[in-house]
Structure 1
Amino acid sequence: MIPHLVTVRRRRRNGRRQRLYIPVLPVLLVLSPLLLLAVLGGLVACLVTRVSPVGALRGAGQLLWALPGTRIEIARGRTAVLVSVR
């Protein structure tokens, strides 16, 4: 399943918390021209390094498919960031 929502939680140094919800589909639609350029750049990189473009695309798809349920926590001092993909 493709991720639908990315939640970013941040605790600032002063103790206040901030939560940001990012819907994946609208962001993907807005950035689709850049995505097309990234795919073309990846295709050229695959041809230059003699990597199978189909295999690279399959690997990227499997990585995206595995993202839901991922939690990334970063803490440094009194500042903390949590990224959760649903």
Structure 2
Amino acid sequence: MELTVYGPLRAATGTKRVNVDPDDGTVRGVVEAFVAAYPSAESHLVDEDGALRPSVRVTVDGGRVGLDDDCPPGAAVALFPAMRGG
């Protein structure tokens, strides 16, 4: 599954688009596959309890989704990390 990443996640991947192979068809599966493939990106996505940071946004086919939502094969998935600053 192709995933488009933004912000500091590109430093972890070295590119704007990456392919991941999720274990299941949920958004959670995609995020977990991404973190497994790019461990240095984890701190941008999850807090110390392992929960997705509130400011992280995931979209599937342009719509914002939750971790337990379906993510069909071939969907356009984008991952926006927590942003810092003011």
- In the superposition, the TM-score normalised over structure 2's length comes to 0.26
**Structure richer in helix, relative to its length:** 1
Q: Which protein is bigger by CA-based radius of gyration?
A: 1
Larger RCO: 1 or 2 (CA < 8 Å, sep 6+): 1
**Structure richer in strand, relative to its length:** 1
- In the superposition, the TM-score normalised over structure 1's length comes to 0.26
